[in-house]
Amino acid sequence: MIISILIDTIELVKWNSIVHIRFIHTPITWRMKPPRVRGLLLFCSTIVLALSVAYQTRSRLALLIPSFSSFSPLSSFFSSSHPITMSYSQERYIAELAVQRASLLTQKVFFEKAKGTVSKDDKSPVTIGDFGAQALIIQAIRKNFPNDEIVAEEEASSLREDKDLSAEIWRLVKDIKLEDEESNNLLGGSLASEQSMLDIIDEGKSAGGGKGRIWALDPIDGTKGFLRGGQYAVCLGLIVDGDVKVGAIGTPNLPVDASTIDASTGAQQEQSTSNGVLFSAVLGEGATSRPLTNSTLAPSKPISMRPVSDISQAVFCEGVEAAHSAQGDNAAVAERLGITAPSVRLDSQAKYCSIARGAGDIYLRLPVKKDYQEKIWDHAAGDIIVREAGGQVTDIYGSRLDFSKGRTLAANKGVVAAPKAHQAQVIDAVKTVLKL
């Protein structure tokens, strides 16, 4: 852990044979030749290692040296006033690149007439885009974080039976790459074979839970929207010990610059260079958006929920599919809040992204069936992006979403996302309408 802190604190940049050492959280920068850099890093690593060993064995050392346990510099450094925090900058970077590369595949499939579908046991369609995007993203996770678990929506059993569909997916996957070679290689480059593609699709079968590092992946969220030509999203979140730490969402059909959303946002989309946004967030570090590209990551900008002084003026959004959210109850909640404007219906976690950047304000997903449990991959990335943008995400009772219960949000019912200042008011309206 301490070595991680050291790595997070120092940034090395090589330029014209000179290595620049920049302390990320201070304005100090050192410039020196590579041999000296190696010596400095070795020295720092030795000191940090010594401190780490001393801290881990402090109770034993205190028996030999009674004053050790009260040794001021060491005890104050490791005291609760200096909490050790983990940075997830590498995880965020890989997640963004992986989602961006997978989005290239989904865009290619989106504008083809034959999307090729199969049906799961619950009759929901799965396209070749779902399978292909899942293979590419899991490959990137396995390349960079080989010991992490993955909870993904799809599995490859149907492809192993349908050889033609498998071959069609492989035709697309083998040619998808980022134009920047270094970025593409960082994600693992090209998959070796069709068989390796099928095998890696099946590596998303983790049971989830409240311990360890678990990635929640929805390769195409909003599959029906994808099929009809509307909004969809490529979603990836990292859950650590039950808490979402990182989220990345690619929305190929959302406009890059949009101050608000309306009915046209959820309608059938045309191919346009002005569409395509990559959203991301890290716990405690805020949320950002940037244009999707086919190469390196584009420059990002911070995003935030817009301030809403009068809840009756809020922009209200909900899912397109009536089977996913009780639209009648949604309308009753809006009426109780005094919102008279018609709701905007969007597929996928594009709804989370829209309210996070201030293009909308409230997102409701009210229960349709008493026994339905939301899937963690449908909410993990969107949850942290909205919360880091200044919003709040809870269930219909006002409880935070609990991602520690496995592959579903078994402890929650429904989803309510709104500005923090108005969350309680929205929850009260929901409880009244649902007679809770």
Domains of the chain: 2-77 (no CATH), 89-303 (3.30.540.10), 311-434 (3.40.190.80)
Distance of alpha carbon 428 from alpha carbon 357, whole angstroms: 25
Cα-Cα-Cα-Cα torsion 154, 155, 161, 164, nearest 10 degrees, comes to 50
Neighbours of 8 (CB within 10 A): 16
Percent of the chain whose pLDDT exceeds 90? 61
pLDDT at residue 418 in the model = 97
CB atoms within 10 A of CB 62: 14
**411 φ/ψ angles, rounded to the nearest 5 degrees:** -90, 0
Q: Is the pLDDT of residue 340 over 70?
A: yes
- Active-site annotation holds for 26: no
> Is 223 considered catalytic here?
yes
Alpha-carbon distance of 332 to 430, in angstroms, equals: 9
What is the structure's pLDDT at 80? Answer: 43
Which residue among 106, 127, 218, 223 is the active-site one?
223
Predicted confidence (pLDDT) per residue in 147-192, tens digit = 999 999 899 999 999 999 899 999 999 999 999 999 999 999 999 9
Q: For residue 364, which of 351, 353, 354 has the smallest C-alpha distance? A: 351
Instruction: Using a pLDDT cut of 70, give the percent of the chain over it.
Output: 75
Q: Which of 130, 218, 347, 361 is catalytic?
A: 130
The per-residue pLDDT for 112 is: 76
CA distances to 159, 335, 355, 366 from 329, rounded to whole Å, are: 39, 10, 20, 7
Model pLDDT for residues 387-412, shown as the tens digit of each residue:
999 999 999 999 999 999 999 999 99
Angle at 6 between CA 5 and CA 10, to 5 degrees: 115
Q: Is the pLDDT of residue 27 over 50?
A: no
The verdict on pTM exceeding 0.75 is yes
Average pLDDT on 315-323 reads 76
User: What is the mean predicted confidence (pLDDT) over 336-362?
Assistant: 93
Residue 249's CB: how many other CB atoms inside 10 A?
Answer: 33
111 vs 80: which has the higher pLDDT: 111
